[in-house]
Amino acid sequence: MKKHIMLNILLWTILFPLTSSGYDGTGRTLNLLYTGNLDGELEPCGCSPKTDFGGLARLSGYISEKRNTLSPYLLIDAGNFSADDNPQGRLKTDALLKAFSIMKYDSVSLQKKEASFSDNLVSALVEKYKIPYVSNRHHSKLSITKNRNKFDVHISAYPGDHEKNQLNILLTDLPLSECKEMQGWDVIINSSGEILDEPFSLKNTIIVTGYPKGEKLGILTLTIDNKGKITGFRHRWQLLGNDIKEDQKVRQVLNDYDSQVAGLLKETERPLKETTYLGVAKCAKCHQSFIDTWEKTGHAKALLSLEKTGKSSDPECLICHTVGFGEDGGFYSVATTPDLANVQCEVCHGTGKDHLMDFYKPMTPVTESVCKRCHTKDKSPDFSYKDYLEKIKHW
Ligand code: HEC
Ligand code: HEC
Ligand code: HEC
Ligand code: HEC
């Protein structure tokens, strides 16, 4: 019996020299705090407590508060942190990198998303904010070496670029299937958007993935011997919930971003198209009883929710919290189209213009798919058509 157990343990140590639990080797430790595939996410929208995780102010707050227990650490982003190349996405990417510089990221990696900007905006910004970066698209900065806890750590974005006698970390968005075939890397931090709940360890390589949109911070604790070889590791996710105190410096960056976004909605650029939406005040003339019921629902206060968080001029929020934002004759801004604020009648019933010509011509039928335009999994995880319909009943 005893022999059997001994044999088992022996087999396990031969087959799995790196184990994530119960490792009893010696050596010093180094924490890799990593993000990847943030996809321009500055902070969660707050639409539902169930999806209220992540955000750069919390990330920075967490690291500052736990600095002593986390040290020595390297803070790394594996790439695809940028938003899209449009006016709002550019402001977002700028704010994100400003926040990275406040947090003193040790390295970021420029991947597909970063390279998609027409004018190399992202490399210009990382240089402006003096953030160390690697990229396999800019040959001058393929890799960097950081010294932490007396270890030389070689960080690169190019799969063929590992060094001898250093700890080698690859930051890449190549598919996990390809990463699993690579050799020479101690750690691969992946930003392809694929998710590994636990690290994948194979031969001498540990593979982890950034958590999409930064809902969680990855913490990989390496135990390293005197020769710089990894002898064990532990891994955990730090969930970034609203219990974490925000870093005020990063909060300021996010608030500045909100003001800049508000400036994007220039009154002079409002499309002065024919009005197709009438607004609830017009419906009230003939349907007062329905309006009384509607006013008691959250739909009637949807813009207030944005005002409370300083987001009442953010197109990315207005699209679901007003009537017809982005459409001809839809909501544009509180100043120009106050009548179309909030989630009104016409969001569900269709524009009222034709209705006034002929009251008996049926309006757009309201079905579940109408609700799901806004009540998505991410924004409204508790949505159930039956229960939610009951709550807005006005008929
Ligand atoms: C895809 C549509 C959609 C977008 C985009 C959206 N929201 Fe929402 N939001 C909703 C829905 C639907 C709810 C109600 C969720 C529920 O109760 O199930 C909601 C609820 C909220 C609430 C909670 C209101 C309360 O007090 O209960 C806040 C705050 C909020 N949103 C803010 C924002 C902000 C800020 C943005 C932009 C960053 C945003 N939303 C973008 C659909 C959206
Ligand atoms: C244009 C986007 C949009 C559409 C379409 C939409 N909603 Fe909403 N809904 C919202 C937003 C935004 C909120 C959050 C309002 C707030 O800020 O509190 C919300 C909140 C709610 C709430 C919770 C608020 C309350 O009063 O308790 C219910 C229930 C709801 N919606 C039901 C529905 C149903 C049912 C449909 C389809 C028939 C629907 N919604 C269609 C955007 C929408
Ligand atoms: C979130 C979606 C939604 C909003 C907002 C909404 N309704 Fe409705 N409305 C419905 C649904 C669902 C029904 C019932 C199904 C149907 O008859 O199409 C309905 C039914 C009605 C009916 C028909 C009643 C009957 O007896 O057939 C009227 C009239 C009406 N709504 C008016 C309004 C007015 C006025 C507003 C704005 C104050 C409004 N609705 C806002 C979804 C909505
Ligand atoms: C001048 C009066 C008047 C105005 C303004 C008006 N309606 Fe109506 N509406 C009617 C009449 C009349 C009917 C048909 C009789 C009935 O069912 O009450 C009707 C029926 C409806 C119905 C149920 C029939 C269907 O096809 O689904 C909905 C929904 C509705 N109106 C929504 C609206 C909305 C939304 C607005 C504002 C954009 C609006 N109405 C503005 C008079 C009006």
- Mean pLDDT in residue range 144-148: 91
Ligand 1: residue whose CA is nearest its atom 8? 47
Q: What is the pLDDT of residue 21?
A: 38
Q: Is the CB of 305 under 6 A from ligand 2?
A: yes
CB-ligand 4 contact for 355 (6 Å cutoff): yes
327 to 215, 276, 330, 340, 387: CA distances (angstroms): 32, 9, 5, 12, 30
Question: What is the model's pLDDT at position 16?
Answer: 44
Q: Please, which residues bridge with residue 322 across strands?
A: 341
Q: What is the mean pLDDT of the chain?
A: 91
Residue nearest to atom 13 of ligand 2 (CA): 299
Mutate to test the pocket of ligand 3, among 291, 349, 372 (most ligand atoms within 8 A of CB): 349
Confidence (pLDDT) at 151: 83
Using the predicted structure, report yes or no on whether residue 125 has a pLDDT greater than 80.
yes
For ligand 4, say whether the CB of 285 is within 6 Å of any of its atoms: yes
Closest ligand 3 atom to 295 CA? 38
Q: What is the pLDDT of residues 34-66, one digit of tens each?
A: 999 999 999 999 999 999 999 999 999 999 999
Q: pLDDT band for position 219 (50/70/90)?
A: very high
Res 291 pLDDT > 90: yes
Mean pLDDT of 237-265: 97
Select from 191, 190, 247, 221 the least CA-distant residue to 59. 247
Looking at the predicted structure, is the pLDDT value of residue 20 above 60? Answer: no
Residue nearest to atom 3 of ligand 4 (CA): 286
For residue 201 the two structure tokens come to: 């360890």
Residue 333 CA to residue 318 CA, distance in Å, equals: 9
pLDDT digits (tens, 9 = 90+) for 163-192: 988 899 999 999 999 999 999 999 999 999
Could you tell me if the CB of 96 is within 6 A of ligand 2? no
| Mean pLDDT, range 220-239, rounded to an integer | 92
| DSSP H helices in 109-233 | 112-115, 121-128, 176-179
- The superfamily CATH assigns to domain 13-256 is Metallo-dependent phosphatases (3.60.21.10)
| Rounded Cα distance, 91 and 83, in Å | 9
- Mean pLDDT of all residues in 115-137: 94
- Residue bearing the CA closest to ligand 2, atom 16: 302
Asked whether 320 lines ligand 3 (CB < 6 A), one says no
How sure is the predictor about 29, in pLDDT bands with cuts at 50, 70 and 90? very high
- CA–centroid distance, residue 244 to ligand 1 (Å): 21
**Count of CB atoms within 10 A of residue 199's CB?**
19
**What pLDDT is attached to residue 395?**
87
- Which of the ligands is closest to the CA of residue 257? 1
pLDDT digit string (tens) for 323-351? 999 888 899 999 889 999 999 999 999 99
Going from the Cα of 300 to the center of ligand 3, the distance in angstroms, rounded, reads 14
Instruction: Please report how the helices 87-103 and 248-262 are oriented relative to each other, as an axis angle in degrees rounded to 10.
Output: 170
Domain range annotation of the chain: 13-256, 274-391
Q: Taking 50 as the threshold, does the pLDDT of residue 359 lie above it?
A: yes
Decide: 365 in ligand 4 pocket, CB within 6 A: no
Q: What is this structure's pTM? A: 0.91
Q: Hey, whose CA ends up nearest to atom 1 of ligand 2?
A: 320
Q: With a cut of 50, say whether residue 6 has pLDDT above it.
A: no
- Picking from 33, 74, 18, the residue whose alpha carbon sits closest to that of residue 186 is 18
CATH architecture of 274-391: Orthogonal Bundle (1.10)
Share of the chain above pLDDT 70, in %: 90
Of all ligands present, the nearest one to the C-alpha of 306 is: 1
What is the average pLDDT across 193-211?
Answer: 95
Closest ligand, as measured to the CA of 285: 4
SS (H, E, C) 181-209: CCCCCCEEEECCCCCCCCCEEECCEEEEE
